[in-house]
Amino acid sequence: MSELRQIDRAPDGPLSRMRARAISLRGAKAGLLAMLAGGAANLAHAPFFLWPALVLALWVLFWQIGAAAEEPRRWRAGFWRGWCFGTAYFLGGTYWIGSAFLVAPERHAIYMPFAVAAMATGLGLFWGAAGAIAARYWPDRGPKQAVWLGFWLFAAEFARGHAFGGFPWHLPGAIWPAGGAMSQVAAYVGLYGLSALTLLVFLVPAGLADGRNDGFGRKIAFAIGAVALLVGGGIAGANRLKPADIDESKRIALGETGVSQRDKWRPDNRSNVISQYLRLLEAPNAADAQIIVWPEGALPTLLLEDPVAIDGIAERLGARMLIVGATRRDVDANGDGIAFNSLAVLRNSDSGLRLDHVYDKHRLVPFSEIVPLSGLFKAIGFEGFAAIAGGFTPGPRPRSLQLANGVRIAPLICYEALFPGLTPRGPDRPDWIVNISNDSWFGVTTGPPQHFNQARYRAIEEGLPMIRSASGGLSAIIDPYGRVTQAMPNPSVVAAAPPESLPPTIYSRFGRVLLLLLTILIFFYGLPGKTNRALARP
């Protein structure tokens, strides 16, 4: 057995040398290598989509967790490597939150490095836990090792997407460009299921190379299985892709001015920003649109309380409807003032501009729209980034809104587009998803294109077109396959007929059940045997 292990570890090629190096490092050096791998894995995500970067990064992590399983304190060594990998991975995936602290640098810049570091290190704890458990109960066989690690990494990602309100940003499945063949797998198992399959397919080759106790036939079977999953997913996705039917009876216009978040809220610039948006209503290509969509937080005012803005909209809107993000105030049951980040549907009536519908954002962004432990943070001078003092109050779960022309829309505001399953289903199923967002907080970083790619997965999962208007981000009309049918390349107005919806997808009908079955299957295959050395040792 020792001879086999020596042969298995002999560096006879670039990958073998990389593996030998990965398993030889301990302590700080092992952590540094894990960080380098985790940081490099970000190249697999938007806007780069270099998916081999995630393959190599996961192989390094796999080899490192295997090495951790050989150390006296396996769980601690596994946690260290997993946490270092995850911290660098999420640092590269969420560094853009620092841009929000530079919108008003005189108030917030001092907090930026602490916030960015806390976000990355906190999210890294999930991968640290996965590494600790995987190393503590590490199987003997290479393929089992790959499946076992894949399961715990997926469990970490699922927990991260749900714990403490959830933050499902940067899921491994999002490395596939939305609208492409591989992304269509999400119509069957969702983005979480696609993430699980991606982790498995990428890890299995490393497990085969490390499979000391597996025969040649077993290795071939696993290799064929991994290739079949990858190629089969691509073929099934390509087969699903069809030309989208267009509803020529409808026409939608998207409008955005391109004003920066900092300039938008300058008191001396308020009337200018409002005037810029009002001019969008007069754009020639929006004249025949029935619906106009502006982004979240488009106007630097309490729109529903601003007679100048309301009169300006009423004068120019005509018979069209306007869907717009708006901050609004109300009172709660105790008579205390509260505020909401809302989507409003406005149209003209005989009595003036009418508020047809309002949706109050259900999932608020922590430390931005709502501040946990607000008393503590207020004591050190940080009160979040909400446009109104005290932050926002969460509204009820999203529901479909039936517009005056009979179209049913499901509103999702900004960060809500990250969450699978928020779109109403069954009898309340909408015709379109309408996603408004304010991405101008994050400047010219990888944040806006990643947000755009992940939002498009909601269209794939639900089989519904998405109408997306984003300030400082990417605005587009998206078909139910996640493909862009009309984009806004620059701040302006674009108008087009929307795609029609598809029948409910398998994921939207049975997604939770299928994901549970997939998870159980992965877990029980990777589960170490009772006589496994990892279980036998203390």
What homologous superfamily is domain 252-499 in, according to CATH? Carbon-nitrogen hydrolase (3.60.110.10)
The string of pLDDT tens digits covering residues 509-520 is 998 888 888 888
Among 398, 472, 390, 385, CA closest to 433: 398
Catalytic residue among 157, 256, 296, 462: 296
Distance CA 519, CA 453 (A): 25
* 231 vs 145, higher pLDDT: 145
The string of pLDDT tens digits covering residues 267-292 is 999 999 999 999 999 999 999 999 99
Catalytic residue among 84, 264, 369, 414: 414
479, amino acid identity:
D
Domain boundaries, the chain: 25-241+511-536, 252-499
Q: Which residue has the tokens 């105790």?
A: 334
**Does the annotation mark 84 as catalytic?**
no
**Does the annotation mark 361 as catalytic?**
yes
For the chain, count helices (H), then strands (E).
Answer: 17, 12
Identify the pLDDT of residue 9. 47
513, amino acid identity:
V
pLDDT band at 208 (very low <50, low <70, confident <90, very high): confident
Exposed (0-12), middle (13-18) or buried (19+): which is 332, by Cβ within 10 Å? exposed
Token pair, residue 330, equals: 């109300």
State the pTM of this model: 0.91
Catalytic residue among 361, 369, 416, 462: 361
Distance CA 13, CA 334 (A): 71
Question: Across residues 29-44, what is the average pLDDT?
Answer: 98
SS3 category, 138: coil
**Does the annotation mark 296 as catalytic?**
yes
SS3 category, 121: helix
Which runs of E-coded beta strand occur in 368-475?
Answer: 401-402, 408-413, 432-438, 466-471
Mention every residue, 6+ apart, whose C-beta is less than 8 A from residue 493. Answer: 253, 254, 255, 280, 283, 285, 286
Per-residue three-class SS string for 446-503: CHHHHHHHHHHHHHHHHCCCEEEEEECCCCEEECCCCCEEEECCCCCEEEECCECCCC
Per-residue pLDDT at 389 exceeds 90: no
What's the whole-number average pLDDT of the chain?
89
